[in-house]
Amino acid sequence: MFIVLLVLGVVVGAAYAYREIVVKGTQFTGKAKLHGKTVIVTGSNTGIGKTTAIDLAKRGARVILACRSKQRGVAALADVKKESGSNQVVFMQLDLGNLKSVRSFAETFLTSEPRLDILINNAGVYMHGRTKDGLGLMFGVNHIGHFLLTNLLLDRLKECKPSRVVIVSSVAHNFGRINFECLSKHKTLGLGSSLLDNLQIYSDSKLCNVLFTYELAKRLQGTQVTCYCLHPGAINSELARNASSLMQILLKPITTFFFKNTVQGCQTTLHCTLQEGIEPFSGRYFSNCTVRNLYSKATDDGAAKKLWKISERMCGLG
């Protein structure tokens, strides 16, 4: 009995230590203020996007909540204003799965807002399907929508230099691959719809984020606009809200104990957004508030350029 209790104690202690040291991660402690600055945060009606928006609003930024659902966006607007104590928060509707909506958002923003200092491409989906334009849903929302949005807003970012683009990717990019033949023929990263297929396609879309950041940094050299991508950690958020009920029930104990909450999960986003002196790391990938090395497939010049060209063509920029 003593041995059983001892083993149980060791397991519980190890789990607690893991949670305190690994799960919680590094906290961004910078005191930067953003009075007079304007920030867009996509997908900021929930999860780490919302928590990021609250933090930036507390620092004095004018924060644009760019969200698909008007109902959820308006509700988030009230929450962010209340929790930050700031009235410099605005909701603008943006559906990244609809290229017409992306263009409309950009036009509205550029007409109504004189500044853009920081663009945070935070929104993401984990769900099988197609976008309004017939693209694979995860490819279309996680990459193409943000690709178009970023390009439409680049001139304003350059006018407000020094400025930054921050792209929320995932460690899942390590398992990603880009099937350019499938993209060209079917406008999607993969054709399957099983659990494993969806995990693969999600990973592929996150690799697109990293390659986009890598290529974007090269194209922005000399403009004083820098860009960074990041892994926020495993987050107990609503990303898997479209998963089956059984899957959500099975994941609940794991996500509750071993995943970051949204405050812990937005720390690397804040680091890439606010940390002074990281300009030489433009185009790089961060995790736990630290720049990380990447596998060669995530810094493949040929793949990055090819992805850029096909992305231009798919969203009508080419």
Q: What is the pLDDT along the chain (318 residues), one digit of tens a residue?
A: 656 555 565 444 445 444 445 556 799 999 999 999 999 999 999 999 999 999 999 999 999 999 999 999 999 999 999 999 999 999 999 999 999 999 999 999 999 999 999 999 999 999 999 999 999 999 999 999 999 999 999 999 999 999 999 999 999 999 999 999 999 999 999 999 999 999 999 999 999 999 999 999 999 999 999 999 999 988 776 555 555 566 566 665 555 556 779 899 999 999 999 999 999 999 999 999 999 999 999 999 999 999 999 999 999 996
Strands, E assignment, 261-303: 285-287, 290-292
DSSP H helices, 113-223, are: 137-139, 146-159, 180-186, 195-219
Cβ-Cβ contacts under 8 Å for 57 (sequence gap 6 or more): 63, 80, 81, 84, 86, 88, 89
Q: Which residues of 214-240 are buried (b: 16+ CB within 10 A; e: fewer)?
A: bbbbeebeeeebbbbbbbbbbbbbebe
Which is the catalytic residue, given 202, 214, 228, 285?
Answer: 202
pLDDT at 25: 74
Q: How far apart are the C-alpha atoms of 142 and 69, rounded to whole Å?
A: 16
All structural domains of the chain, each given as residue ranges with its CATH number in brackets, are: 30-314 (3.40.50.720)
pLDDT at 18: 47
pLDDT at 5: 55
202 catalytic? Reply is yes
